[in-house]
Amino acid sequence: MIKSKFNKIFKNNFYFIFLSLLIVLTIFLTNIYSTNKQNQIESVNDVVENIYFKKSLNLVFNNLNPRYSYFRFKINKGESFEKILNKLNLSEDEKKFIIKNLSKFKFINKLYQGQTIHFKLDNSKPAKLIELKFEQSKTKYLVFNRLDNLNKFEFKELNKSLQKRQVYRESIITKSLYASAIDVGIQPNIIVEFARIYGFQIDFQRDIWKNDSFQIVYETFLDSNNNILETGNILYANLILQGKEHGLYIFKTKDGFEHFDKSGKSVRKSLMKTPINGARLSSSFGMRKHPILGFNKMHKGTDFAAPEGTPIMASGDGKVVRARWCGGGGNCIKINHNSTYSTVYAHLKNFARGIKEGVKVRQGQIIGYVGSTGMSTGPHLHYEVIINGKKVNSQTLKLPSGKILKGKERKVFEIEKIKLEVLKSELISS
């Protein structure tokens, strides 16, 4: 009877009893596992804390550190070579040794903003510099290698091997020459050079209309991955304005490369008509109400409105006689071109690298960038032309024509012109 009653209770509570036993078993096994795990942890800690194990571990990790380390720095404004050197984990004796051996090279003390320097260090104690590489351009490196058995550096120049390729581009001008050229993949420095070439005869504000067009053939230099590292000469250019073509061909004379029209007449003049590309003539030469002072005053220059940072070119060869703050003119530059002509560029944001009083500049060279410094209501270039000490209207100034090829030179030019036309046709067809 009791057994039957027990069986009945067991049968009715089977699942509850089974679950209870399962929980008890789980708790028991968990305790066993925790105890074993704690014992394992204590054993591992004993091993880790062992002084001999620590020494062995440190030795292994020290040997895993790479012997050589590499660093790359891009020069910021005002940084010197010594300041960059101080960022490296080198001893004072090593730094003094480097400066002593390299200071005789003038370019060490003439680093420019954006220049890249590469260091290779040997981490063997004490750490020392074994290779130093200065990137002078996209194609040229100046390299110092430390000689193994001698405490000195070996200097050499490295030039990348590049492939020259001619490129043809054309486009319709819908907004501005610059924007249209960028849209078809022309490099900015080529656009600046294109503007410089035509700057003698074309007013980019008034002469270029919407839906005018251009053609250009220029040189590029590619690396082994077909990346364009440098650009070369503009071989052919053509501005088609209101249906009229203005074709120009490059030709080498005794004075260097120049661009000539189809009649063999050079486009080069003593001064460019417009020293800035893509600008809007915002205020012409003459009497006007001064935008800040509020009264009528003679405006002895020409203002070109353009976005801040737009490059400004020297309108002619000459010498910089002023590159400083000029009061109401803000940051300004004055160039003496010869005993007759001078030009002034005012309200600049800043000067181009290397531009200072006393340096010589060439026509079309970038000397500064559009800003709004001094007495200015917005970013623009104030441009003046001075003849024998008198300020004149640059937009109505008649400048002497460029040279005209004659005789044997003219015959050679005609042959070169045909070659360039053939090259253009081949590039278009390909």
Distance CA 233, CA 256 (A): 12
- 44 has which bridge partners? none
pLDDT of residue 333: 95
Q: Answer yes or no: is pLDDT of 283 > 80.
A: no
Distance CA 315, CA 331 (A): 18
Distance CA 307, CA 305 (A): 7
Closest by CA position to 202, among listed 120, 154, 261: 261
Distance CA 314, CA 325 (A): 18
Distance CA 272, CA 193 (A): 12
Helices (H) then strands (E): counts for the chain: 8, 22
What is the chain's mean pLDDT, rounded? 80
Closest by CA position to 297, among listed 367, 365, 225, 375: 375
Q: What is the pLDDT of residues 312-332, one digit of tens each?
A: 999 888 899 999 998 888 999
pLDDT of residue 48: 47
Q: What is the pLDDT of residues 188-239, one digit of tens each?
A: 889 888 887 887 777 776 788 889 999 999 999 887 778 887 888 999 999 9
The position carrying tokens 């063997």 is 124
Q: What is the mean pLDDT of residues 378-392?
A: 87
Closest by CA position to 355, among listed 312, 304, 305, 309: 312
pLDDT of residue 394: 76
Burial 146-176 (b: 16+ CB within 10 A, else e): beeeeeebeeeeeeeebeeebbbbebebeeb
Distance CA 159, CA 145 (A): 16
At 30, is the pLDDT very low, low, confident or very high (cuts 50, 70, 90)? low
Distance CA 18, CA 126 (A): 72
Packed helices 51-64 and 14-48: angle between N→C axes, nearest 10 degrees: 80
At 108, is the pLDDT very low, low, confident or very high (cuts 50, 70, 90)? confident
**How far apart, in Å, do the first and last CA atoms of the chain sit?**
109
The position carrying tokens 């915002």 is 282
Distance CA 195, CA 132 (A): 39
Q: Answer yes or no: is pLDDT of 86 > 80.
A: yes
Q: What is the mean pLDDT of residues 271-300?
A: 61
Distance CA 376, CA 292 (A): 8
Please state which of the ranges 34-48, 236-250, 265-279 shows the lowest mean pLDDT.
34-48
| Cα three-residue angle 138-144-150, rounded to 5 degrees | 165
From the CB of residue 215, how many other CB atoms can be counted at a distance below 10 Å?
Answer: 17
- Residues 400 and 387: beta-carbon distance below 8 Å: no
Distance CA 366, CA 356 (A): 13
Helices marked H in 316-402 = none
pLDDT of residue 367: 93
Three-state SS at 384: strand
Three-state SS at 398: coil
pTM: 0.54
C-alpha distance from residue 130 to each of 47, 62, 82, 86, 142 (Å): 41, 21, 17, 16, 14
Q: Answer yes or no: is pLDDT of 298 > 70.
A: no
Entry field: residues in the chain: 430
Structure tokens at 200: 């003698």
Q: Answer yes or no: is pLDDT of 69 > 60.
A: yes
